[in-house]
Structure 1
Amino acid sequence: MSIKVLADVTSPREAGLIILGSTLTVDDVALRIVEVEAYGGEKVGPWPDPAAHSYRGQTPRNRVMFGRAGLLYVYRSYGMHFCMNISYGPTGVAGGVLLRAAEVVAGDDVVKERRSRARHKYDWARGPGNLGSSVGISLADNGLDVFDPTSRVRLQLGEAEIWSEGPRVGVSTAADIPWRLWIPDSSAVSAYRRSPRAPADS
């Protein structure tokens, strides 16, 4: 049922709202997702998005985004951080929801050791790179089915009763599309930073 819900979405925003408030479990660590960014797909698809990795078509790097809903798309950011997306939409149509921030709800000791330089607990998984570090994600996890109960990375869909939405962080194109969604009362939500390369009228 969870896969069907994500497969049948009619927009990237809807996919983001489905994942916001859900629980992500990686081994013994569990987190509540409090911030996401939705990304569309290639320019010939139903949700053309020039900020998406898939915009210019399928490649070995982004092929998971073109797979069925509920797959984990992992990529390396700035050569050192691993970021996580969940695919959505029908097979063959690219789409991904970036997990931007989360609150740790189980596995504190494990995350505290991994994120020992963080000043506060709400900083442990604040920002997509920190979130990836907090759960020990790597490129070896790329393509995992997050709805498979035997998977190392699992997603339990929840619901955010209240949310805010606004432009995405750090993208230089399509910067003003309001596909960043967050739970406003969470201290773990990351700060908004507009890319200096984004034109004023994007």
Structure 2
Amino acid sequence: MTGPNIDTSSLENYIKTYVSLSEDEILALNSLVQYRKIKKNQYLLHEGGIAAMSSYVVSGCLRTYITDNKGIEHILGFPTPGWWTGNLQNFYNDKPSQLNIQAIFDTEILFFTKETKEKLFLSGAVFERYFRILTERSLIDFQARTLEILSLSAEERYWKFYNKYPDLMLKLPQKYIAGYIGVTPEFLSKMKSNGLRKP
């Protein structure tokens, strides 16, 4: 779905926290952005697929994960409202995705295809600036996540998760929390039964 019937206010407000938008730029945004609803357990992107979309989460929650050659899922993140998600290699290089992006709850997104994103950039340099800032922030988050995996204990990663996603702690299945902090569900249960000491 695209056009004036889409409520883009949350996206507009989010963009405005980084850059100023003119009325013409808001009109361009509204004319190019598309809307999609993803039901619980449905996939926005499946491993091996090519679905070049840059997606902004309006409501709900997704999980981004990969599956290793032993069939174990490793969760990279939980895009929630106000987050962008997608696969950059898939989006820019038309490569089959190595990632899976699945809705944990019913989720609504606003998204751009490769074509509509290029049109957005042509409509105003402000959008190129905004997405540059977004990419820089994503790289910072990626580095922080990598360092977290390499340098912190499982218990420390648990509390990092707790601080990052406090609202999700009571909603997510334990297997998803385990997949994010890099342990098995059984190991997480054992950690919790032994008492987790908050730092």
Q: TM-score, normalised by structure 2?
A: 0.27
Q: Greater share of strand residues, 1 or 2?
A: 1
Q: Greater share of helix residues, 1 or 2?
A: 2
